[in-house]
Structure formats: C-alpha cells, structure tokens
Amino acid sequence: MLASLHRSCPATRRRRPSALAALLLVTILGWWLAVPLAARAQTGAGAGVLTSFPIPNGYYFSEAAGDDPSQGYTISNDGGIPFWDAFRRLGGIDGLGFPSTGRFVWNGFVDQATQKAVLQWNPSAGQVELVNVFDAMEQLGLDSWLQTQKQTPPVFDNGADAGKSWPQIVARHQAELDWNPAIRARYFADTDALAHFGLPQSYADEGNVLVVRCQRAVFQQWKQNVPWAHAGEVTIANGGDIAKEAHLLPGDAATTVAAAGLIVAPVGTALPLSTEQLAAVRAAAATIRPSLTLVSVALADGGFGFGSGVVIDAQGLILTDAHVVHNAKEIRVTLADGRTLTAQLVGKDTLADVAVLRIPLTGLPAATYGGAAALQPSALVAATGFSDYFPSPPTVRAGQIIVVQQEPIGSTLEDKIASTLFVLPGDSGGPVVDMQDRLVALVQATDFPEVQGVTVSISIDNGLDSVAPIIRQIVATGQSIIRPLPGFDVVTMTAAIAKQLGLPLVTGMLIVQVDQDSAAAKAGIIAGDVVTAMDGTPTPSVAAYAAVLARRQPGDRVAVTYVDPKGGLHTVIVTLVGV
C-alpha cells in the first residue's frame, strides 16, 4: 500500500498476496455475519481526500460545512443520545441530507440539525424526534420572511381544530393534500409521514412552484426546470438549512470540528466504544505518535511515493514494509518533530514484507514491542499512518482483531493479524498498537470485500514479535534475506475450509496460490491441492512445512507429495527458488 503520485500503489507491490488474505473470508465468515453492519464509506483509488468517514459510534461528514474536507460535523450516539441511529432510521443522507451543525441546546433540549430537519432528544420519551421547525418559525414571526425569501406560504387559520379529537384534526389537515395529488403521493409514500413531516398547515401557488407547508417539512412541485429539479418533480425544502439561515438556531451551533482530531472507525462494521475505550485509543495513539515516521521514496523509474514507518531503536533504526521502499533510488524519513533526513536501507525481507532503515540520529523515541500472538478476537487495537486519503494526516484509526494466524514465510512462521482497521494507501508500514500502548504489528495490506452486500474493511498486518528475529538478522548482517520457496502459498487445511470450498478433508497444507511459470506450476500443482509431505516428511501444520524449507537452499530439488481435489495422490519434484 505504498501511496504514489498516480495512486497506483496496490499494483506496485511485488510481494505475492498473503495466504491469509486469500482465505480470510472463508475462515472468518461466521464472525463477520455476527457483526452489526453499518453504512458504506467512500473508498478507492482516485477518489481523492475522503469527505466523510466512519467514527466510533457514528460518522463524520464535511459536505454541509463547505469545500474543505478537514472541517465538518459528526453525528453520533455519544452520551447515550442516539442521533446517529435516528439519522439512519430516518433515511440518512437521502432522507435528511448531511448533518449541518454539531449538537446544541435549544429550548432546554439537545438538538442537532441536518440540511432537511432538526433532530431533538426527548429524554422523557427516551427517543429522538423531529422538531416542528416551521411551527417554530411561525411563533417567532418569521412567516413573512419565509414567503418572500423561501416561497413558503403562511399557516392557515387553525381555529377549525378546536373541539376536535386528534384523529379528526389529523384527517382535516391531511385533507389539504388533496390540493396537489403529486405532493399528496410523496407525503404518504413515507413510512411514517405524520412523524417525519407533521401536519400539513397550508398550501399555495407561488408562481413557478406549488407548495404545501407542513410542521416539519415543505413540499414543492416545480412548474418549470430549476437547477435542482425538473418540471413536475416534487422536492422537499432543506428545513434545517432554512432554520440556520433564519438564525433560528444558536449562533455556535454551526461550529465545525476538525477531522484531524477524530478517530476513524471500520468500514461497514459498527464500533460502539465507551468513553473509557475512546480514551484508551487516544492514549495509545498519543504514545506511539513520537515514534511514527513518514517514509518518502524517489523511485528508480523517476516516480515518487510514500508510506509510513516507526522508530524501533533509539540509535536511528526505522521499521517499515519492504514494498514501501521497493525500487527506491532515495529514501527520506520525516520524524514526528518535523526533521527530515536521508535514510539508508539496512536490508529487507521481501517475502515477509519487512524493511529496516537507518538515519544518522540517536536518542530517538523508540516504540515498545508487544505480542501479537496473545491478541484475542474482538480485542481493540489502534493504528496511525500517513494516508492522504484522510484529511490532515497522520490519522488515528480504531478497530477490532478478527484473527491472528501463523503463515509460513519460507522457513519461518509469521503472525498475520486480520482486523477491522480502516487503512488506505500511504498507511503501509505504520504502527498497530494494543491498548497497553505496545507496538504489535505493522500495517501491510488492506481489502474491502462485500459481506451480505455491505462493504467492510479488513487490514492485514505483520505481527511484530514473529518478525523480530528477521529484524535482528537484518541489523546484525546488514543484508537482505533470501528465502527458498517452492512456488506456491499454503495455509493449514481445516474441516471448515474443506466444507466451505467443497474439498476432501486431508491432513496437510492447502495450496491457495501457485506462481505462474514456477516449477510447481509446470509440475501440475494447482490451487486446491493439499501438500501432505515434503521430502518424505509429513506436513500436517505450517510449523512442519516451514521446518522442511529451513533445511534447504534456493536451487535445491524437493519431492512434494499432494492430494488433488478429486482425492488423487501425487509426488512431483520441485526446484526451490530464492525470494
């Protein structure tokens, strides 16, 4: 996920896709289906800076705050007031428009405005309700302003309501909709028109538009084309924006919040965090921030790119992903205090996707290591990095562990951490920390699969404790690591994987990818085969598989015994290649 000027970073990776990434949805599908799914986020190369993104307990939107995505409004369930839940229940952006204020107190109640309405928390009823915005404007004597500025007629005389029951009052007011069948159809198309729009209060022909005024909304049927609607189309006026323009709301209600101070939540999966958990995420991010670095590279082909990194030794050692510095002609590291220095590549392990850099400084704030293998599913983690898809990087992310799984990296085993962290190009090499403020992984890759029709974020990260020996070897030798590989990637076969893929359950290592033009491919090995032995040694686990490779060198020929998807047993000779 090296971010480049052309945002083509995923394609620049030379490392083969992680076996964990290849089978992740198979192995954790049940976990995902048990998680509440939230709204989609804007993602994807070429999308530019995100104007909105998920936060714990809610969402951040900048659309109604102007053209600067770094300033906007959050709508959330914080403090036990479920404005975010109500926003989604009432139709989200389509039904209410974008949030156009933060929270404010109005007439003793906590409120928040969107472009089309004003939400109000009713503590006695324990629910969020819509404010009768246009009734409030009438009470403040703003009917003349509404008519001259917003083509909205004054309220009719409601004296006829006296002495009538509530059902009779509702029937009398809704009968006013008969004046315009198109508006009547739009009103009653809503699942709860009375709750969402209130009672119709008046109607009028305002020249180029036919208007029905309700307590909480104004319906408009346009007689001619206008920039926002075609002739004959029915629209609903932006009641929240009108309330702001009429100075109906407190002056500080429209004060924006800075995106830079927010925690980014996962895409597609709810992340409800308590006040204490939010504080823990912020504390973890603040602890790692002095160790976070920006890694900028000038590429041999004349291009430029960047990623993230982390200080791992006070004597000037920086850790990042190998793909961040792949094909780099020059590497520069920017520290948290703003100093930028040219870095030397000490060495890298392309397969493990680890690179160690050195800068000519000492006394640097080094991160504290933690153990990834001890992380449990649903454990809270934080990450930070320099992706410029988010406003004002570096940006803090929060997510939960999905699974920690060991993956063979040549002759060693590496912890791969799958989490719900929302990371994007430019975050590669950035730190992932636990709630004890310890560095547990480096951001390596990201994916956005669909689960039940909803896009979700998955981050695949390198566990630090398992790559620590790799780091020590690189530092000790000053050289990159070359590994012998058979030309395919594997994971341990399980009953769940066999059932999901419709394969026979065989004890061994399931091949999930075969390198094109490799000796293995030429020998007829394909994805779906299960390796049961190498050189006559059974391979029931990733540890046994890695142990066989540990005794070999690039160029060695090994016997691979495998069972094909139809149950046939084969043994072929494969030449190991150095990576």
The per-residue pLDDT for range 489-520, each reduced to its tens digit, is 888 888 878 887 888 899 999 998 898 888 99
Do 409 and 266 share a structural domain?
Answer: yes
DSSP conformation class of 572: E
Quick: pLDDT tens for 138-177: 999 999 999 999 999 999 999 999 999 999 999 999 999 9
* Listed residue (405, 434, 422, 430) closest to 459, CA to CA: 422
Amino acid 30: pLDDT = 29
Tokens for 415, please give them: 């912890």
* Listed residue (424, 447, 457) closest to 1, CA to CA: 424
Residue 394 lies in a domain: yes
Do 415 and 402 share a structural domain?
Answer: yes
Do 249 and 137 share a structural domain?
Answer: yes
Domain with 496, as residue range(s), is 484-578
The CATH number given to whatever domain includes residue 444 is 2.40.10.10
Span 423-430, mean pLDDT? 92
Do 411 and 496 share a structural domain?
Answer: no
CB of 246 within 8 A of CB of 236? Answer: no
- Report the share of the chain in percent with pLDDT over 90: 67
H-state helical runs in 61-180: 83-89, 92-96, 133-139, 143-150, 166-174
* Cα dist from 93 to 23, 107, 435, whole Å: 35, 26, 34
DSSP conformation class of 358: E
* Listed residue (173, 389, 13) closest to 21, CA to CA: 13
CB of 511 within 8 A of CB of 488? Answer: yes
Give the residue from 420, 441, 467 where a domain finishes: 467
Residue 92 lies in a domain: yes
Measured distance CA(324)–CA(299) in Å, rounded: 10
* Listed residue (566, 576, 483, 479) closest to 523, CA to CA: 576
Amino acid 408: pLDDT = 62
Measured distance CA(150)–CA(64) in Å, rounded: 19
pTM of the model: 0.80
Quick: pLDDT tens for 178-211: 999 999 999 999 989 999 999 999 999 999 999 9
The CATH number given to whatever domain includes residue 505 is 2.30.42.10
Amino acid 142: pLDDT = 95
- Residue linked to tokens 């994007």: 424
pLDDT of residue 357 exceeding 90, the answer is: yes
Confidence band of 265 (pLDDT split at 50, 70, 90):
very high
Amino acid 452: pLDDT = 67
Lowest mean pLDDT: which of 9-13, 84-88, 269-273? Answer: 9-13
Residue 314 lies in a domain: no
Q: How crowded is residue 495: how many other Cβ atoms within 10 Å of its Cβ?
A: 8
pLDDT of residue 371 exceeding 70, the answer is: yes
Q: How crowded is residue 355: how many other Cβ atoms within 10 Å of its Cβ?
A: 31
Measured distance CA(119)–CA(137) in Å, rounded: 16
Residue 553 lies in a domain: yes
Residue 479 lies in a domain: no
Do 523 and 400 share a structural domain?
Answer: no
Confidence band of 437 (pLDDT split at 50, 70, 90):
very high
Collapsed DSSP state (helix, strand, coil) of residue 197 = helix
Do 268 and 373 share a structural domain?
Answer: yes
Q: Omega of the bond prior to 394 within 30 degrees of 0, cis?
A: yes
* Listed residue (344, 254, 331) closest to 64, CA to CA: 254
Span 32-60, mean pLDDT? 57
| Amino acid sitting at position 433 | V
CB of 223 within 8 A of CB of 231? Answer: yes
Measured distance CA(425)–CA(388) in Å, rounded: 8
Do 61 and 33 share a structural domain?
Answer: no
Residue 369 or residue 406, greater confidence:
369
Q: How crowded is residue 12: how many other Cβ atoms within 10 Å of its Cβ?
A: 19
Do 373 and 462 share a structural domain?
Answer: yes
Do 253 and 268 share a structural domain?
Answer: no
Residue 337 lies in a domain: no
| Amino acid sitting at position 55 | I
Do 245 and 134 share a structural domain?
Answer: yes
Collapsed DSSP state (helix, strand, coil) of residue 364 = coil
Measured distance CA(210)–CA(224) in Å, rounded: 11
CB of 349 within 8 A of CB of 481? Answer: yes
Do 455 and 381 share a structural domain?
Answer: yes
CB of 220 within 8 A of CB of 234? Answer: yes
pLDDT of residue 47 exceeding 80, the answer is: no
pLDDT of residue 540 exceeding 80, the answer is: yes
Tokens for 263, please give them: 């925690």
Amino acid 40: pLDDT = 21
Span 453-470, mean pLDDT? 79
Give the β-pairing of 354-358 and 340-349: antiparallel
Lowest mean pLDDT: which of 98-107, 143-152, 296-305? Answer: 296-305
CB of 106 within 8 A of CB of 250? Answer: yes
Residue 269 lies in a domain: yes
- Report the share of the chain in percent with pLDDT over 70: 90
Amino acid 559: pLDDT = 96
Number of domains into which the chain is organized: 4
Do 266 and 254 share a structural domain?
Answer: no
Q: Across all residues in the chain, what is the average pLDDT?
A: 87
Amino acid 409: pLDDT = 64
pLDDT of residue 454 exceeding 90, the answer is: no
Measured distance CA(328)–CA(2) in Å, rounded: 12
Residue 360 or residue 5, greater confidence:
360
Residue 561 lies in a domain: yes
- Residue linked to tokens 């220095």: 341
Give the β-pairing of 412-419 and 395-409: antiparallel
DSSP conformation class of 249: S
CB of 332 within 8 A of CB of 324? Answer: no
Amino acid 349: pLDDT = 87
Most confident segment among 222-231, 395-404, 490-499? 222-231
Distance, first Cα to last Cα, the chain: 20
